[in-house]
Amino acid sequence: MTQATLPKPPSQFSLRYGHLWFVLPGFLFFLAVMLLPLAFAFGVSMTNWSGLGNDLSFVGLANYAEILTYYPFYRAAFHNAVIFIAILIFQHTIGLYLAVLLNEKPRFMQFYRTVLFLPVIMSLVATGFVWTLMLSPNIGLVNPMLEAIGLGFLAGQWLSQPGTALAVIVFVTAWNSMGWSIIIYLSGLQNVPEELKQAAAMDGANTRQIFWRVVFPQLSPAFTALTVLTFIGTFRTFDVVYVLTGPLGAPNFGTDVLGTLIYRTAFGGSSFSSAEIRFAFGVAMALLMMVVMAAICWGLIRILRSREIEG
């Protein structure tokens, strides 16, 4: 009788492959939405298809070769790089400093922490509109405020001057992403063993020395995570530019980033006629960008991780 109630032993097949039943449903979604379109996109990138109609022919790697000498691609990549470097500096200075201040457990710490992280959960579209309200030439509040306090000469057309438009994009991105650096550094700081700091203090190190020699090296995993995160985030910039300066990256492409360039090339911006849409070329740019970003990410992680072990 007991023999009958026992489950029958699993077959050889289900022992070896049974776990894959759990993977299958998700994998089908993944296949249909990510893998097949990606393979299709790779095929398209070797044609001259405009995205509409059946007019296409195979051009091999010509699209990729063209990108190498395509000036707007470098211009857009340069803007992404500027945003990346500026945000990186911002995160590792102001973000780190705010995290250090919060780690000292000031009064209302919970309040500051909640507030400073708040923009992270907001959409970039909402963030863009918030700063449109502050900086727009029509309804912006910053210019009238500057005039009210006698600094009217500083007022400007922030979003339409080549010199300030990209800075505004950086500023708004910094506003939206500051919470990341604070929370990541804060959890890093909270993991620094108290004994380490006490031991250093016993040895006569001052606060500054303790921070730079003892605490900061312990933060290198946070530094790595934040750098990679910032890299991926800034090179995917799209929404903020779309809302603040439009899909053309106004003024005169001064804020054009890879996201908007690829979008315009593949799908057409507002002022582009359909004749100028080159879907295949846009897809080639997106794929090239993916490969280069993956390589840089991999390199960044390797360099920063090796630094972690030494530290």
Partner 1 sequence: MSSAPQLQRSQSDFGVFVGKTARTAVLVVASLWVLGPLFFMVIASFKSVPEFFINPFGLPKEWKIENYSRAWTDAQLSLTLPNTIIVTTVAVLVSTFLATMIAYGLSRKEKKFAMGLYTLFVAGLLVPVHAIILPLFIVLKAVGLFGTLLALIVPYIAMGLPLGVLVLTPIAAALPRDLVHAARMDGATEWQIFIRIVLPLMKPGLISVAILNGVWMWNEFFIPLILAFKPEVQTMPVGIVSFIGSYSTEWGLVFSSVVVSTLPVVIAYLLMTRQFQSGLTAGAVKG
Q: Does 292 bind partner 1 (CB under 8 A)?
A: no
Q: Does 214 bind partner 1 (CB under 8 A)?
A: no
Between CA 134 and CA 127 the distance in angstroms is 11
Sites for partner 1 among residues 144-173 (CB under 8 A): 144-145
Which CB, 144 or 162, lies closer to partner 1? 144
Which CB, 161 or 224, lies closer to partner 1? 224
Which CB, 26 or 204, lies closer to partner 1? 26
Sites for partner 1 among residues 61-120 (CB under 8 A): 97-98, 101-102, 104, 106, 111-120
Between CA 133 and CA 119 the distance in angstroms is 16
Interface mask (CB under 8 A) for partner 1, residues 188-207, using x and -? --------------------
Sites for partner 1 among residues 22-51 (CB under 8 A): 22-23, 25-27, 29-30, 32-34, 36-38, 40-41, 44, 51
Which CB, 115 or 162, lies closer to partner 1? 115
Which CB, 17 or 162, lies closer to partner 1? 17
Instruction: State phi, psi for 47 to the nearest 5 degrees.
Output: -125, 180
From candidates 1, 4, 121, 275, binder to partner 1 by CB under 8 A: 121
Q: Does 137 bind partner 1 (CB under 8 A)?
A: no
Between CA 126 and CA 130 the distance in angstroms is 6
Q: Does 215 bind partner 1 (CB under 8 A)?
A: no
Q: Does 9 bind partner 1 (CB under 8 A)?
A: no
**Shortest Cβ 22–partner 1 spacing (Å):** 3
**Shortest Cβ 133–partner 1 spacing (Å):** 6
Between CA 64 and CA 83 the distance in angstroms is 25
**Shortest Cβ 308–partner 1 spacing (Å):** 13
Cis peptide before 221 (omega within 30 of 0): no
- Kindly calculate the radius of gyration of the chain based on its CA atoms and give it in whole angstroms: 26
Q: Does 175 bind partner 1 (CB under 8 A)?
A: yes
Q: Does 17 bind partner 1 (CB under 8 A)?
A: yes
Q: Does 131 bind partner 1 (CB under 8 A)?
A: yes
Tell me the three-class secondary structure of the chain, residue by residue: CHHHHCCCCCCHHHHHHCCHHHHHHHHHHHHHHHHHHHHHHHHHCCECCCCCCCCCCECCCHHHHHHHCCHHHHHHHHHHHHHHHHHHHHHHHHHHHHHHHHHCCCCCHHHHHHHHHHHHHCCHHHHHHHHHHHHCCCCCCHHHHHHHCCCHHHCCCCCCCHHHHHHHHHHHHHHHHHHHHHHHHHHHHHCCCHHHHHHHHHCCCCHHHHHHHHHHHHCHHHHHHHHHHHHHHHHCCCHHHHHHCCCCCCCCCCCCCHHHHHHHHHHCCCCCCHHHCCHHHHHHHHHHHHHHHHHHHHHHHHHHHHHHHHC
Which CB, 62 or 301, lies closer to partner 1? 301
**Shortest Cβ 86–partner 1 spacing (Å):** 16
Sites for partner 1 among residues 235-264 (CB under 8 A): 236, 238-239, 242-243, 259, 262-263
**Shortest Cβ 99–partner 1 spacing (Å):** 11
Sites for partner 1 among residues 216-235 (CB under 8 A): 221-222, 225, 228-229, 232
